[in-house]
Structure 1
Amino acid sequence: MSIREWPELERPREKLLARGCGALSDAELVAVLLGSGLPGKDAIALGRELLVAAGTLGALLADPHASALRLRGIGPAKRARLVAALELARRSLAEQLAERPALGNPRESGDYLSAQLRHLPYEVFGCLFLDNRHRVLAFEELFRGTVDGASVHPREVVRACLRHNASAVIFAHNHPSGVAEPSAADRAITRELKEALQLVGVRVLDHLVIGSGAPTSMAALGWM
């Protein structure tokens, strides 16, 4: 039986419109994005298979091209829809962040930075640049590494802060392992960067470690 033959309020699209996104499972939401299934496989079953192939929803949205290629019949149109969904979510969060008068606590910046970095299979070190009232100027990925780490160069961080005319900065990097526990190396580079930026009058407000759960704030731990 195809989805079109299901009771109307059990179909993913109709259920979403009637009851909201929260009423749908991950597979059903993916099915809505895909629009249709494959011969002999409805969109929900296809969405479920894609999620299993990718491992997690974040991994699927981060790299749907590689995951979807494992399944015969998934064309560029469906892959493009998944990529677009992630990008729309990122841009929406960026707009919300930019509209706030100022960042007041680690959770506000953590929500945005998690969306930027959590899904990546390699380690990235980025900076959120702020003005003297802690309003967002820009976010930039500065260094990219592997699952083992990213080399961070203080000179490049200082240069980026000056380029954005930042008065303050929040660092963030992801742990692809999913464990958001700052390492000794994370704490050491944070101290080194803080000392370098003091020379040019830029304050380091926080360093967030992004894992599979809530980000870990070094400022909240008293390590700044």
Structure 2
Amino acid sequence: MTTNTLMIRDFPQDERPRERFVQHGAQSLSNHELIAILLRTGTKDESVLQLSNRLLSHFDGLRDLKSASLEEITSIKGIGYAKAIQILTAVEIGRRVANLSFNDRYVIRSPEDGAKYVMNDMRFLSQEHFVCLYLNTKNQVLHKQTIFIGSLNASIVHPREVYKEALRRSAASIICLHNHPSGDPTPSREDIDVTKRLSECGKIIGIDLLDHLIIGENKFVSLKEKGYL
């Protein structure tokens, strides 16, 4: 008697884990579907979904799987060292994320703190990069994001792009930064106009623009200290 094993390619598109991840996000997937994405392939006898289900059943769910050793995982038929290492790597990343605390976040108390946070990354850039730091109520950095690359222009650096991420991150305030590839951080008229426009928009939606820093060659200018905020 022969059995026909249903492989991932035999599933409808909207039932495949990767496609569902893209369309609906990771939260829409079950534990064994997430594991299936890590494993990537099954065996000639079972699909990756069947293999991941068997793996979770063997360890009675994620709680025991997170404590499993490399040897214990590779003892399961169909899982070699490569697959086992992928699983253990994901477990370790999850453990490290869980151990993060707000105390590990960088705190910005002054313009110098903000400049120091980005100086080494931005001082040698050959193009202008407009970057935002999103802060919580304790002025800890929640997220850093490059909003725009190119010559600064008030019509291009749109407040919508700046504050969209602030709303998504539930940020209490933001600090904007951009570099001058010339090394001279003296603000231009465009720099000042962009700053005022972003500040006004922030006041309307209740997210403060704390400062706009211009990064040069081991030096910076705070537009707040210059009186433009």
TM-score (structure 1 length as normaliser) = 0.53
Asked if structure 1 preserves the Cα contact closer than 8 Å seen for 2:152 and 2:191, the reply is no
Distance 2:170 2:121 in 1: 22
Q: What is the CA-CA distance between 1:222 and the residue it aligns to?
A: 2.2
Alpha-carbon RMSD across the aligned residues, in angstroms, is: 2.1
User: Structure 1 residues 119, 98: closer, same or farther in 2, change over 3 A?
Assistant: farther
Q: Percent identity?
A: 35
Which one is further off, 184-193 or 98-107?
A: 98-107
1:115 is matched with: 120
SS at match of 1:181: coil
SS at match of 2:116: helix
1:115 alignment partner AA: N
2:65 is matched with: none
Distance 1:175 1:190 in 2: 15
Asked if structure 1 preserves the Cα contact closer than 8 Å seen for 2:196 and 2:228, the reply is no
Show CA shifts across 1:6-54 (max 9, x none): xxxxxxxxxxxxxxxxxxxxxxxxxxxxxxxxxxxxxxxxxxxxxxxxx
1:162 alignment partner AA: L
1:162 is matched with: 167
Distance 2:173 2:227 in 1: 18
**5+ unaligned residues in a row in structure 1: which ranges?**
1-94
Distance 1:213 1:197 in 2: 29
1:143 alignment partner AA: F
Distance 1:113 1:101 in 2: 12
Show CA shifts across 1:97-138 (max 9, x none): 973673211111111121221111011101010011211101
1:142 is matched with: 147
Instruction: Name segments (4+ residues, structure 1) moved above 2 Å.
Output: 97-102, 148-151
User: Structure 1 residues 164, 177: closer, same or farther in 2, change over 3 A?
Assistant: same
Asked if structure 2 preserves the Cα contact closer than 8 Å seen for 1:126 and 1:173, the reply is yes
Pair 1:218-2:223 in alignment: yes
1:132 alignment partner AA: T
Asked if structure 2 preserves the Cα contact closer than 8 Å seen for 1:180 and 1:213, the reply is no
Asked if structure 2 preserves the Cα contact closer than 8 Å seen for 1:131 and 1:166, the reply is yes
SS at match of 2:205: coil
2:192 alignment partner AA: R
Q: What is the CA-CA distance between 1:166 and the residue it aligns to?
A: 0.7
Alignment: residue pair count: 127
How is 1:2-13 mapped onto 2 (pairs within 5 angstroms)? Answer: none
1:134 alignment partner AA: N
Asked if structure 2 preserves the Cα contact closer than 8 Å seen for 1:171 and 1:208, the reply is yes
Asked if structure 2 preserves the Cα contact closer than 8 Å seen for 1:126 and 1:171, the reply is yes
SS at match of 1:171: strand
How is 1:1-224 mapped onto 2 (pairs within 5 angstroms)? Answer: 99=104, 102-145=107-150, 148-149=151-152, 151-224=156-229
Q: What is the CA-CA distance between 1:165 and the residue it aligns to?
A: 1.1
1:212 alignment partner AA: E
